[in-house]
A and B are shown apart, each in its own frame.
Chain A
Amino acid sequence: MIRRTTYAVFLVLAIAGAAVTAAVGDSSLHTLAYGLSALVGVVAYFQANKRLVDEAIGTTLLSVLGGLLLSEIALTAVSVYVIGMPIDLAAWQMWTFLLFPWAYVLTLLLTGYFCAGLLDMLE
């Protein structure tokens, strides 16, 4: 069994990585990020199902939210540091920048999760 915090830290970094790649990454990497997000969803389902993680559902939900927040913070920090943009403007711009990537990443994650559940149930 993985400890809850370890699981959360890795998942937060993964979601942030996926969102950031989908938002500003090279176009060829978008598909990879979405594909890996779906696979994370599949794995997360089976981990929860086989009780490999403590309080899997709640931890997953919070980690996903944490990941989205981390992606916003990371891109805002880049804008502020590199181009000296005022922080409020940078935060707002990155928020609009990230909305669709978030939607895509979450959609694929949930699709992976539910498809895994569905297949598991049918077996």
Chain B
Amino acid sequence: MHRLNKAFFVLTVSLALLGGVSVVDYSQTLGDFQDAGIVAEQIETEIRSGEVAEGEFVLQVEIRNPTRFTLDLNGAYMAASADGDRLAYGPIVNHDEIPETIPARGAVNVEYVFALSDDQAQGLQAVLDDGTVTVTGQHSVQLRDTQFSVSFTGEVDG
């Protein structure tokens, strides 16, 4: 074989190997700090239902995670509003009962419980009785050592 052709094969094989190594390396570093935002954007949340019970606002949500990474679920925060008025807000109070992780390539059903004051409970119940409440919130999520929040929004009707 001509030495130029030998050189050609050596060069192209080196470049192809270099590319292969880069792609594998890239797929493994996805999910590190600089890419956590991309992962966060893939998480989908659906609010299944919500009700006021015994001074608490109980939300049933489904969190879907299409990524290859298992995420730690550390908590959540929500604000409930109707017609622009904020009716209730706060972090969840049932930390010990929520699942610890959102499985990779899977979905998990979570019950979030938020504590309400008497006024908030009455206001929320009044709106839920004949209308819908808009809930916006954030899950507090962790991927390896990176903490980030995943926003969600949805409607709850009574």
Q: Scan residues 23-79 of chain A and give those whose CB is less than 8 A from a CB of chain B.
A: 24-26, 29, 32-33, 36-37, 39-40, 43-44, 46-47, 50, 52, 71, 74-75, 78
A119 contacts across to B, CB distance below 8 A: none
B65 contacts across to A, CB distance below 8 A: 84
Q: Scan residues 3-23 of chain A and give those whose CB is less than 8 A from a CB of chain B.
A: 7, 10-11, 13-21
The answer on a CB contact under 8 Å between A36 and B23 is: no
Q: How large is the interface on A (under 10, 10 to 19, 20 to 34, 35 or more residues)?
A: 35 or more
Q: Does A85 contact B (CB under 8 A)?
A: yes
The B contact surface, by secondary structure, is helix
CB distance from B32 to the nearest CB of A (A): 12
Q: Footprint of A on B, CB under 8 Å?
A: 2, 4-5, 7-9, 11-23, 25-27, 30-31, 35, 38-39, 42, 65-69, 105
| Interface contacts beyond A20-B22, A83-B39, A85-B38: sample of 16 additional A-B pairs, CB < 8 Å, sorted by A | A11-B12, A15-B15, A17-B22, A18-B19, A24-B25, A29-B22, A43-B7, A43-B8, A47-B8, A82-B27, A82-B31, A82-B67, A83-B31, A83-B35, A83-B69, A84-B66
